[in-house]
Amino acid sequence: MRFRSRIMVLVALTLLALGVVTGVALVLGRRSQQQLTDVETKYLPLLELGYDLGNDFRTLRKTLEEAAAAAEEAGLTDADRQVEELSRRLSAGRAAIAANGGDAEALLRELREYYALARAVSAETARAWCS
């Protein structure tokens, strides 16, 4: 093989290697972009929703505790409004919950069951303090 032919083979192999590296970089770039899109559209909304719902739930629990300790019906009325807001936020986040394999309806049912029991306990505790 002549020197010129050897150089042409090296150039061809270099171009082939460049094409392979470029192709791999494009595929990995698309995959990274898809993962970033998933984080932005699926996981981040769920994290934000979880943070907001957690704060709302802690506030609700505190309101129920304070209503029972103060023996005030107004505190229970505030808790009623808070649970409605919590339910509304949970319903609004159905898409984010479902996109991540959760069941918003089950969460709403559990929230209502918890609240019915917690409100009854708080009301009974408030009545006991008044007696």
Q: What is the DSSP string of 37-83?
A: HHIIIIIHHHHHHHHHHHHHHHHHHHHHHHHHHHT-HHHHHHHHHHH
Q: How far apart are CA 17 and CA 9, in angstroms?
A: 12
**Contacts with 115 (C-beta within 8 Å, 6 or more apart), sequence order:** 60, 79, 83
Q: How far apart are CA 68 and CA 75, in angstroms?
A: 8
Question: Is 115 in contact with 78 (CB distance < 8 Å)?
Answer: no
pLDDT recorded at residue 127: 85
pLDDT recorded at residue 109: 96
Q: Where are the domains of the chain?
A: 3-130
What does the pLDDT profile of the chain (131 residues) look like in tens digits? 798 888 999 999 999 999 999 999 999 999 999 999 888 888 888 889 999 999 999 999 999 999 998 888 888 999 999 999 999 999 999 988 988 888 999 999 999 999 999 999 999 988 887 76
pLDDT recorded at residue 41: 83
